[in-house]
Amino acid sequence: MVSGQHQLDEVVTPALVVDRERLVRNIREMAERARSLGVALRPHAKTHKSPEIAALQREHGAIGLTIATLTEAEGFADQGADDLVLTAPPVGGWRLDRLVALARRVRVRVALDGADALAALDRACRKGDVEIGYLWEVDCGVGRFGTPPGAATAERIADVLESATHTSFDGLLTFGGHAYGASTPEGIAAAARDEQEAIIETAAALADRGIEVSVRSVGSTPTAHAMHSAQGITEIRPGNYVFYDATQVALGIVPLERCALSVLASVTSRPAPDRLILDSGSKALAAERLTALTPGFGAIEGHPGLTVDRLYEEQAIVRSDEPCDIPVGARVRVVPNHACAAANLHSQMLVVEDGSVVDVWPVATREWGEIEAERRPAWSTR
């Protein structure tokens, strides 16, 4: 907690700002949505990397956390999280060593999609005398991780079940990330159906082989909003919903006033009546456009006629539809296109209520977490 309260006009810019009232509302409403669908909520904590926000999610009923890296897993475990799912295959001896050590402290499961990764995991678990569960990833249309839905994946899982002695098949996982490529609500709804159908089809094929699927996990913020029925699903894994961002606004998921995360920036130059420069470049906002529906690289609260047109490392070039009178030295709040990536660029977030900074939360698990003892020159062959 900060000592006393500070106004935003006293803050050094650029700065990551979280509106606490919006944040809590977002967390509460997604928890209520999960309950209404009859599924568990396992939010993806890569969005915020914040123990304080993770604690709020657990207070509102999250059964555990989804995480993207071992550094996130270790950091959240240190802060009391005891049920974690790692969404990337743990490939590499250093990952497996850290994963085994983590499994001695908390329940951790991993997502994987191949026999080689499973065999390496099983060997590491056997050597470390632990057991780790895995969720097999099914590709529902993203073209990233995962094997095809249905019989092909069921056959692969059946082939490896007997050979693994220190790992357990705990279920299926998929990710409808292609929802971000949709241009209409119907497209997002189609991606949500793709998630659901991929799980249902693969679970049915496994049932035909006598293999139980206890966990049936889907997840993204857009598809979580688009789900009308959770038939065949046991849990959802949205992440971005804690903050929302300009991408979610462009997709029609929420209005701008629901976005809890912004970057506070100062106007440093007015080179033309229809152009201003902010001190929040790509190192503060992240130079991402996840959908062609976003007109620029962020939305500026209270100024719908402004577009963040270009990003340099330390500057944002803002274009105005009409000549505007925002002076040099003024401060604006920019809602980034991708809240997850923007949060990862900052070491802390300023928690704001009624225009005052009431707390400072670290973005605690954003480092790659390289172990000091293992650090060596890039050219080393060791």
Closest CA to 306 of 291, 293, 292, 322: 322
On whether the pTM is more than 0.85, the answer is: yes
313/136 Cα distance (integer angstroms): 39
- Cα 329 to Cα 72, 277, 305, 332, distances in angstroms: 37, 10, 19, 10
Nearest residue to 297 via CA among 141, 64, 28, 306: 306
- The residues that bridge with 308 in the sheet, in sequence order, are 318
Domain layout of the chain by residue ranges: 39-242, 256-362
Structure tokens at 303: 């100024």
> According to the model, what pLDDT value does residue 7 have?
81
CATH number at 256-362: 2.40.37.20
Tens digits of residue pLDDT in 295-353: 999 999 999 999 999 999 999 999 999 999 999 999 999 999 999 999 999 999 999 99
Chain segment 198-214, per-residue pLDDT in tens? 999 999 999 999 999 99
Token pair listed for 19: 């509106």
How far from chain centre, in Å, is Cα 350? 19
User: pLDDT at position 8, please?
Assistant: 84
Whether the domain at 39-242 and the domain at 256-362 fall into the same CATH topology: no
Specify whether the backbone of 166 is left (phi greater than 0), alpha (psi in -120 to 50) or beta.
alpha
Report, as ranges of residue numbers, the positions in the chain whose pLDDT lies below 50: 1-3, 370-382
The reported pLDDT for the residue numbered 292 is 92
Angle, to 10 degrees, between the axis of helix 93-103 and the axis of helix 70-78?
20
Angle at 97 between CA 96 and CA 98, to 5 degrees: 90
Q: What is the DSSP secondary-structure string of 194-246?
A: HHHHHHHHHHHHHHHTT----EEEE--HHHHHH-S--TT--EE---GGGT--H
158-169 residues labelled b (16+ CB within 10 A) or e (exposed): bebeeebebbeb
The verdict on whether omega for the bond into residue 271 sits within 30 degrees of 0, i.e. cis, is no
Q: Which two tokens stand for residue 75?
A: 């950091």
pLDDT for 336 equals 98
- The beta-strand segments (E) located in the chain are 6-7, 15-19, 40-41, 65-67, 83-86, 107-112, 132-137, 167-173, 215-218, 235-236, 261-272, 275-278, 298-300, 306-311, 316-320, 331-336, 348-353, 356-362
Q: What is residue 280's predicted lDDT score, i.e. its pLDDT?
A: 97
What is the predicted pLDDT for the residue at 379? 34
Contact 98, 70 (CB under 8 A): yes
CATH topology of domain 39-242: TIM Barrel (3.20.20)
